[in-house]
Amino acid sequence: QQPVQSPQAVILREGEDAVINCSSSKALYSVHWYRQKHGEAPVFLMILLKGGEQKGHEKISASFNEKKQQSSLYLTASQLSYSGTYFCGTVKMGSGGSNYKLTFGKGTLLTVNP
Amino acid sequence: SQTIHQWPATLVQPVGSPLSLECTVEGTSNPNLYWYRQAAGRGLQLLFYSVGIGQISSEVPQNLSASRPQDRQFILSSKKLLLSDSGFYLCAFLWRYHGYTFGSGTRLTVV
């Protein structure tokens, strides 16, 4: 089942913050976050494993609440280069090893204006 | 370092024609390989994945097929394309906790 992302779109001014949420109805093993620029392939940002961990990548960080099966991506002090579509990808519990595959949400379009 | 190559970058094919898209990986052995399709303005739909030579799992029943003739080669095929097969096709490999690395993609337009 496809994870649900919210919001669908967000417009920011440079320097503002944003939060993108991803929730699943299934027990999750891990959550991935990717960013896709227009016309390009998605690029991996970070992976969060069960255990409620939090990770950071420059001014982009994320958290994973395994009890709620929810993950959030935090973008602070946004830059023009942050514009793009952000996808979360989830791996169901029990999908390790040979059955490891990502199910992606529909994406969140982030636009950062000067 | 691991790299992934995918070609061609763009393709325009008539309805009913065959299709072959190729993807190769370098710098790693026995990777998990994946084919995704992205319709215009939409999310990523998993089509096939493979954990080894000759091992293909299909996620969506359709007129596409996949093969893995060599450890680091993954091929997506169709005998007869439909208009609905248009989209952005992405090959990816999984590198443990570094997530997916995607190829540059093939933009297919069926006319």
Contacts of residue A58, defined as CB under 8 A and 6 or more positions apart, other chains included, come to none
Q: What is the pLDDT of residue A78?
A: 94
* B55-106 pLDDT tens trace: 999 988 688 999 999 999 999 999 999 999 999 999 999 876 678 999 999 9
Enumerate the residues of chain A whose CB falls inside 8 A of the CB of residue B50.
none
The average pLDDT across B41-52 equals 90
The average pLDDT across B3-32 equals 94
A101: nearest CA partner in chain B? B49
Please give the residue that has the higher pLDDT: either B45 or A92. Answer: B45
Q: What is the pLDDT of residue A55?
A: 66
Mutation target for B interface from A37, A104, A108: give the one with most B CBs within 10 A: A104
Residue pairs between chains A and B whose CB atoms are closer than 8 Å: 50
- Phi/psi of residue A97, each to 5°? 60, -125
Cross-chain Cβ contact A104/B49 below 8 Å? no
Enumerate the residues of chain B whose CB falls inside 8 A of the CB of residue A46.
99
| Residue environment code for B75-87, b if the CB has 16+ CB neighbours within 10 A, otherwise e | bbebeebeeebbb
A86: nearest CA partner in chain B? B43
Q: What is the pLDDT of residue B88?
A: 96
Q: What is the pLDDT of residue B39?
A: 87
* A3-60 pLDDT tens trace: 999 999 999 999 999 999 999 999 888 899 999 999 999 999 988 987 656 666 678 9
* Closest chain B C-alpha to A114 CA, distance in angstroms: 24
Identity at B64, one-letter amino acid code = L
* A56-111 pLDDT tens trace: 667 899 999 888 899 999 999 999 999 999 999 998 877 766 678 899 999 999 99
Looking at the DSSP bridge assignments, the partners of residue B3 are B26
Class of domain A4-113: mainly beta
Q: What is the pLDDT of residue B46?
A: 94
Q: What is the pLDDT of residue A87?
A: 97
CA distances from A96 to A8, A28, B30, B80 (A): 29, 11, 15, 34
**Minimal Cβ distance to B105: which of A41, A87, A102:** A41
* Closest chain B C-alpha to A30 CA, distance in angstroms: 10
C-alpha to C-alpha distance for A18 and A11, rounded to whole angstroms: 9
* Closest chain B C-alpha to A56 CA, distance in angstroms: 14
Mutation target for A interface from B46, B88, B100: give the one with most A CBs within 10 A: B100
Cross-chain Cβ contact A105/B43 below 8 Å? yes
Domain ranges of chain A: 4-113
Contacts of residue B14, defined as CB under 8 A and 6 or more positions apart, other chains included, come to B81, B110, B111
CATH 2.60.40.10 fits B3-110, yes or no: yes
Chain B interface with A: residues with Cβ < 8 Å: 32, 34, 36, 42-44, 46, 49, 51, 59, 90, 94, 97-105
